[in-house]
Amino acid sequence: MKDSYDVVVVGAGPAGSIAARTAAQKGLDVLLIEKRQEIGDPVRCGEGVKKMSIRRHIEPDYRWICADVKGSRIFSPNGTKVEMSESISGGEVGYVLERKVFDRALAYEAAMAGAEINVKTRATGLVIEDGFVRGVNLMHLGDEYKIRSKIVIGADGVESKVGRWAGIDTSIHLSDIETCAQFLVIGENIDQDYCHFYLGNKIAPAGYIWVFPKGKNQANVGIGILGSKSGKYRAVTLLSDFLKEHMPDAKIIEMVVGGVPVKGTIEKTIANGLMLVGDAARQSDPITGGGIINSMDAGKIAGEVAAKAISAGDVSINALNDYEKRWRATIGREIDNSLMVKNTFVKFTDEDLNSLAYSLKDVNFTSMSLMDLLYALFKANKKLLWDLRYLFKDVVKNEIDFSYRS
Amino acid sequence: MVVIHINRYKCGYCGACVGVCPSGALELIETWIEVDKNCTGCGICAKVCPVGAIEVKK
């Protein structure tokens, strides 16, 4: 480890590794640090991603793909099923990843691009001078180091401190986080072609249970419930109840827990000399909880903006505003749309959810797009979903053709 | 004064509690949570914990 770098990236998840790779590819001197001793472990994720989106960042590799899925089935509280499936040329539409291997593959990419990586290295504070972030204080194997850098990229996850140290309020309210638990199970009769989602205020208050195939009779069975509903019931207990009822013979070979921000876009993700990416910037999707692709998209933008800012010799908030603008115009818009949906859905009773699912029971979806599903729901349930009309005003105006058929 | 107790035998070190702490008093260090003097005992961390590993001391 040297005394100074162009960029220090805190956290080697997908956001951090892509930011580090991008910055290093642009010729910057980059240090990527990870507080854990192993990159990618423990996993705090359901591991599902869209195939098309992942290709933007890395060529799919079967070392980190556990399952190819061709669709999703959503079950309402009374078991009414909504099925969405889609085939695209060249295979199925979604992957279930092995994050432990995937995260390492991304770190490998960062390393090959020239970034230096240090594991078991934790940021303990920022170096702040004249209102600018000018580096980080680190602890590695019990020793403390002060590392200077022109830009710090905070990719330090749901437990992020980097933003707070720079005066950005990233604390999350209980109604803005899903508290999650997940078992990796082995069991017979696990459908390896479909991702399954179970809704209901009894089984997963203001959240859902997922069953994602992981190949070879395995699945990630997980739950997310809204933080404000947690307390009397815990995510892990509700998940155990579900398993007892739906998969009594499943054997649990791994248990992980986690918190997923479902807050919508936060006010600010930059400061002088600092950018936040991924979960640290609360960039996960408020309705699905998915964050891998958003993190990678944001990491890439941050890496590009860092290179531009450093070569122009201006790392002020004005220069870094390009990052803010670019991510808000893309993933930010999706996050805000999803927030609208989340705020509507968390209010629904089980009866509402049943009637919504029932209204789609004869619809044969050939699209996996959440917007398509929502639009079909909206058309059939305008009264219940009236709050979502703003989502569709562009759709209706432009007469966008949806790819489902009734 | 530290007013919460974290059962490290239950804790899955996910950091959800750190994310919701309004006073920034918690820190996830590899496989355990540390609490500093800024903890007010508000109990938000105890509510969010997916496994119920946190207790506010009375």
Each residue of A64-117: pLDDT tens digit?
Answer: 999 999 888 999 999 999 988 876 555 568 899 999 999 999 999 999 999 999
Structure confidence at residue A374 (pLDDT): 85
Give per-residue pLDDT as tens, A314-333.
999 999 999 999 999 999 99
Taking every pair of C-alpha atoms in chain A, what is the biggest distance, in angstroms? Answer: 64
Alpha-carbon dihedral A372, A378, A381, A384, rounded to 10 degrees: 130
CA distance A78 to A358: 10
The model carries a pTM of 0.94
Alpha-carbon dihedral A52, A57, A58, A63, rounded to 10 degrees: -80
Q: What is the mean pLDDT of residues A56-70?
A: 93
Confidence of residue A406 (pLDDT cuts 50, 70, 90): very low
Partner-chain contact B18 A159, CB within 8 Å = yes
Q: Which of the 8 DSSP states describes residue A401? A: P
Structure confidence at residue A375 (pLDDT): 84
CA distance B5 to chain A (A): 16
In terms of DSSP H, where are the helices of A51-190?
A: 51-54, 99-112, 162-165
Partner-chain contact A257 B50, CB within 8 Å = yes
Q: Nearest Cα to A370, choosing from A190, A127, A119, A195? A: A195
Contacts of A235 in chain B (CB under 8 A): 50-51
Where b means 16+ CB within 10 Å and e means fewer, B31-50 reads eebebeeebeebebbbbbbb
How is chain A split into domains, by residue range? 4-44+100-172+265-342, 68-95+174-261, 347-391
Q: With contact defined as beta carbons under 8 Å apart, do B25 and B38 qualify?
A: yes
Interface check B18 vs A, CB under 8 A: yes
> Which of A120, A174, A237 comes nearest B47 by C-beta?
A174
Q: With contact defined as beta carbons under 8 Å apart, do A284 and A264 qualify?
A: no
Q: Nearest Cα to A210, choosing from A384, A201, B24, A219? A: A219
> Which of A35, A36, A181 comes nearest B50 by C-beta?
A181
CA distance B28 to chain A (A): 7
Partner-chain contact B51 A236, CB within 8 Å = yes
CA distance A107 to chain B (A): 18
CA distance B22 to chain A (A): 6
Interface check B28 vs A, CB under 8 A: yes
Partner-chain contact A257 B27, CB within 8 Å = no
CATH architecture of structural domain A68-95+174-261: 2-Layer Sandwich (3.30)
Confidence of residue A187 (pLDDT cuts 50, 70, 90): very high
In a 3-state reduction of DSSP, which class is residue A34? coil
The first and second tokens of residue A314, run together, are 């201006």
> Which of A234, A256, A261 comes nearest B19 by C-beta?
A261
A219 forms beta bridges with A185, A213
**pLDDT at residue A236 greater than cutoff 90:** yes
Contacts of B20 in chain A (CB under 8 A): 171-174, 177, 227, 259
CA distance A231 to chain B (A): 5
Interface check A226 vs B, CB under 8 A: no
**pLDDT at residue B28 greater than cutoff 50:** yes
> Which of A172, A174, A234 comes nearest B50 by C-beta?
A234
> Is residue A81 within a helix (H) or strand (E), and if so which, with residue range?
strand A81-85
Q: How far apart are the first and last CA of chain A?
A: 60
In a 3-state reduction of DSSP, which class is residue A302? helix
Task: Write the CA distances from B50 to A210, A256, A288, integer angstroms.
Answer: 16, 10, 18
The first and second tokens of residue A208, run together, are 């859902």
Structure confidence at residue B1 (pLDDT): 61
Contacts of A227 in chain B (CB under 8 A): 16, 20, 47-48
Nearest CA in chain A to B47: A231
Give per-residue pLDDT as tens, A283-292.
999 999 999 9
Structure confidence at residue A83 (pLDDT): 87
Three-class secondary structure assignment of chain B? CCCEEECCCCCCCCCHHHHHCCCCCEEEECCEEEECCCCCCCCHHHHHCCCCCEEECC
Per the prediction, chain A carries an average pLDDT of: 92
Partner-chain contact A236 B44, CB within 8 Å = no
Q: What is the mean pLDDT of residues A113-132?
A: 98
Partner-chain contact B19 A234, CB within 8 Å = no
In this prediction, what percent of chain A has a pLDDT beyond 70? 95
Structure confidence at residue A290 (pLDDT): 92
Task: Write the CA distances from A290 to A50, A216, A220, A222, A355, integer angstroms.
Answer: 10, 24, 14, 13, 26
Confidence of residue A381 (pLDDT cuts 50, 70, 90): confident
CATH superfamily of A4-44+100-172+265-342: FAD/NAD(P)-binding domain (3.50.50.60)
Q: Nearest Cα to A30, choosing from A151, A126, A134? A: A151
Q: What is the mean pLDDT of residues A146-163?
A: 97
In terms of DSSP H, where are the helices of A247-386?
A: 292-312, 317-327, 333-345, 350-359, 370-380
Partner-chain contact A172 B19, CB within 8 Å = yes
Structure confidence at residue A4 (pLDDT): 98
CA distance A207 to A287: 9
Contacts of A257 in chain B (CB under 8 A): 12, 14, 16, 50-51
Q: What is the mean pLDDT of residues A229-240?
A: 96
